[in-house]
A = this chain, B = another copy of it.
């Protein structure tokens, strides 16, 4: 069961929550916009459903609501940003803007971030580059839930990659995906419905393929994109590793199985090799390669041609990355955002605890 809430209502609530824990109004607005962009775009696992999780991290002292985010090292096209344990929702846009600033002068900008926290949906940050006619890239490491090919142990997060590419008359190309077969949010939906997961999504605690959507609770793991070796899981494992290394080994954040876990009740790993969670951002000016008008005309041509590809029987058309999320955004901004009952109850409890109207 679920209930529908207007964007404004959820926005006001989340904004008040962020203010309540000590964010200044600018940061609270930014964090709320990033968080709710997930709900609008249909990535329900990364929206207000996570709000209580952020508050809990603040309660245990792992989130600093008033961080002094700074560039700690830089070259003409690179920088390292120290997030000062701030909300990733605030640290990430700061870092992406540093990348965009570098790209204005050097053609491209690349920023690796340490000492941060969960940054919401990857796509939001990548899309910040679009208005400047730049390609935006965003990735982050995350709590270790994923077993590499041949591993029983969870060593990587779902480590998403987002790439946003501007077009002309067409809407932009926006890919935003976890480097696992399925994101954890999709597994949670199956758990609620008490339905099995397809093979290739999870393995059990002994490293065997499983269709039990609850495997993660009993020591199992998510699987890298590909699912098993025969279907290319070593490629998903490599992608997740690249995200981990760019986000955390380059910056000095904590990596691999040492990535700080999102749930505040999970103890921090021992002997962490770096500080907090890591992200990686890139911005490339398209006119650092060819005139922007030319590039955008060819992107329109690319998009039109792919949209016109003959679909398989039973499917209406071939989609361009970003199509579904963009349509969902329009739909939910007008018609409201559905939240499942457990999320509604969770937010009601949070409202009560902080004495905020929901």
**A→B interface (CB under 8 Å):** 73, 75-78, 80, 105-108, 110, 112, 135, 148-153, 155, 163, 165, 173, 175, 177-182, 198, 200, 203, 206-208, 225-227, 230-232, 234-239, 241-242, 244-246, 249-252, 255-257, 273-274, 284-286, 288-290, 294-295, 298-299, 301-302, 305-306, 309-313, 315, 317-319, 321
Contacts and interface: CB of A to CB of B under 8 A. Distances in A.
Contacts of A286: 250
A12 B82 CA distance: 53
Contacts of A246: 135
A274 B301 CA distance: 11
B77 A245 contact: no
Contacts of A153: 309-310
Nearest to A296: B249
Contact of A231 (B151, B181, B245, B255): B181
8 contacts: A76-B107, A148-B318, A150-B312, A150-B318, A152-B309, A244-B302, A250-B289, A251-B290
A148 to B, nearest CB: 5
A288 B74 CA distance: 7
Given A78-B108, A207-B313, A225-B236, 5 more contacts: A76-B107, A78-B288, A149-B319, A151-B310, A250-B295
Given A231-B181, A250-B295, A238 B150 contact: no
